[in-house]
Structure 1
């Protein structure tokens, strides 16, 4: 969606426009929190690449206390409008009255579209951390010998861990910054976290979660999550990253915490490139990981390597006894490096077909009709995956 940076205050409601391709968006905010009076309010969305502080997107204040803006959009595809309000950055984003961030507001655009909104709260008026008390910092700078670098790692322990005497399944997850806490999360539409801790806090059956942060710079995250070299990344680090989890991290967790260390009670999960390395992790270590949570895997970036992997599998017997949970959104569409356009759910279904043909493990596919690529959708998909993970571990009580 492209914006042709025309901005009109509400008092210009009569301004004409001629092009049939143009769409006039009018937004009114009739109620806002009483805090931060006088500070500018911005609108941001999929019409301006989610810039939270674009100066042309400041709402105008009116004598009745409401705010408003008119934006002339041109060449807008027939699609839904996604937008949010901020006061200039994501830490000052709008939120619920309870202080939680939610997904974007949605509206269908017509030639003239008027939207009336109320803002319940501002995120920076609430405590920055949303992490459960059951989330603990395992190490702020864990040394990864396989990669010769340090990394922050988190651990979620069930509330009754100290007193129950029980042993628990373990779920290893990538991108730890985005799993538990809005204070450490960041994303295209704001710092929306997965809510993994809240899901397990309220679940009848608990597990331990070990969450590994990705590298601070997103560009450094990429080679760690590639398993096979490609033209863009002739040297990749995915095999050594997985080796760290299997040969260094998991032995430590199993020796220092009351875990159920068997394959049947050990899971690996991640999204996007983290979903891709999760899929490779299952195939490379089928004797270690019994359940794989593969959320929106970036197969489209893998230059056909995963398809090649799935057609040349070894250790078929161990893969056959694994369980793979795939999630994909019907609106996760991407431009590939070769300039062709792909639907990511098609990639997922093709990979599942190859995996079924090669080894026939237990497969589960969750598809969301309006699902797009981002933490908002993975957060909403995680509870069903967690139930499926726990159901699988329940069949192998130790």
Structure 2
């Protein structure tokens, strides 16, 4: 059994001539338009197995052979279109309209309006890999010293949308300002990353990092360079009031870093951790580690796989990881984001609950 979907595409004015086609997770993001090209009426019929969770993008094969992907109105990346194929009679022979806002044109989203609060201060610190960008925020009207601090991986994605991957961010400063307005201020420290993300965040040798893992180097830099710099600027707050957090590979390195150095971080925020690298090496590594003083936030979305079945299995993997941590850390919080995909939109939605949980559990 399969479900037929008719796609209707709406293209922006000025779209260059060429073949407009559809790609995405069901096609392993192929640039080959064959079988997936929209017809002269901007229509495309495609069949999907029931239970498919598809992230989709429209691309354009130009006459010169180059391929351009849809983007936002400012020439930057755009979020993927999301499609859920339930497989019941209400889903059969459905029509989906895909609106293309623009094409990626090298501007990289320059001029995109800002809807999220930016950092208050930015540093550039020396690091073994060159220079490390550090983005800092603290609440308006609050002394920045002696605040509990949260170190966030993928710092390019946590504040304003300008430097983000696809124009979506965690709106972290907005959520933290709301927490401060209830009497729970904190300092946010975003650590940006570049194309070496897989090397920086994965501690195991895999093809994604060229079998040259750099997570230990990154974590050592946090401990030996970043933390002293923060202490000099904002005062020393101690491990119990210091948290480390990230999503996907950032969740991976958060859990690894916290259990590698027990006693360094009081709280670990592990959002949608990618557990699959190196044949699920992280859960096996975690099984022999403990930090009796640490609190661990674990979560996952229930739409993070290529199918509903895969997603349920991923949620169960994270749940079992939390069960394995019980008794070896001070506290484990586990939650599932209903209808949440593996993206910044989902992490933005779950971040305020994490902040409330973290700040509400601080000593004193």
TM over 0.5: yes
Say if 1:130 and 1:183, in contact at 8 Å, map to a contact too: no
The residue that corresponds to 2:65 in the other structure is: none
Q: CA deviation at 1:346?
A: 2.4
Secondary structure of 1:321's aligned partner: strand
Secondary structure of 2:132's aligned partner: strand
Distance 1:361 1:213 in 2: 29
Say if 2:170 and 2:347, in contact at 8 Å, map to a contact too: yes
Change (3 A) 1:169 1:42: farther
Change (3 A) 1:185 1:158: same
Say if 1:182 and 1:192, in contact at 8 Å, map to a contact too: yes
Distance 2:272 2:14 in 1: 41
Say if 2:154 and 2:250, in contact at 8 Å, map to a contact too: yes
User: How many pairs does the alignment contain?
Assistant: 338
Say if 2:70 and 2:101, in contact at 8 Å, map to a contact too: no
Distance 1:52 1:355 in 2: 42
The residue that corresponds to 1:138 in the other structure is: 123
**Aligned runs of 1:89-238 on 2, under 5 Å?**
89=69, 91-92=71-72, 104=81, 106=83, 108=85, 110-115=91-96, 127-139=112-124, 142-144=125-127, 147-161=128-142, 164=143, 167-186=146-165, 190-203=166-179, 204=181, 205-214=184-193, 216-217=194-195, 220-229=196-205, 234-238=211-215
The residue that corresponds to 1:278 in the other structure is: 254
Q: CA deviation at 1:244?
A: 0.8
**1:229-271 C-alpha deviation (Å, 9 max, x unpaired):** 46886542211211111121011111112x4511121000011
Unaligned runs of 5+ in 2: 61-67
Q: CA deviation at 1:58?
A: 6.6
Q: CA deviation at 1:130?
A: 4.2
Structural RMSD (CA): 4.0
Change (3 A) 1:117 1:275: closer
Secondary structure of 2:283's aligned partner: helix
The residue that corresponds to 1:356 in the other structure is: 326
Q: CA deviation at 1:374?
A: 2.0
Say if 1:300 and 1:347, in contact at 8 Å, map to a contact too: no
Distance 1:197 1:53 in 2: 41
The residue that corresponds to 1:3 in the other structure is: none
Distance 1:135 1:44 in 2: 39
The residue that corresponds to 1:10 in the other structure is: none
Distance 1:37 1:307 in 2: 50
Query: 44-53 vs 247-256, which deviates more?
Result: 44-53
The residue that corresponds to 1:333 in the other structure is: 305
Change (3 A) 1:44 1:379: farther
Secondary structure of 1:333's aligned partner: coil
Secondary structure of 1:327's aligned partner: strand
**TM-score under structure 1 length normalisation:** 0.70
Secondary structure of 2:42's aligned partner: strand
Change (3 A) 1:53 1:192: farther
**Which of these two proteins has the greater Rg computed from alpha carbons?**
1
Query: 363-372 vs 43-52, which deviates more?
Result: 43-52
Say if 1:169 and 1:265, in contact at 8 Å, map to a contact too: yes
Change (3 A) 1:72 1:346: same
Of 276, 282, 301, 1:300 maps to: 276
Say if 1:46 and 1:81, in contact at 8 Å, map to a contact too: yes
Say if 2:4 and 2:47, in contact at 8 Å, map to a contact too: yes
Distance 1:199 1:248 in 2: 28
Distance 1:233 1:302 in 2: 12
Say if 1:178 and 1:185, in contact at 8 Å, map to a contact too: yes
Distance 2:58 2:321 in 1: 39
Secondary structure of 1:293's aligned partner: strand
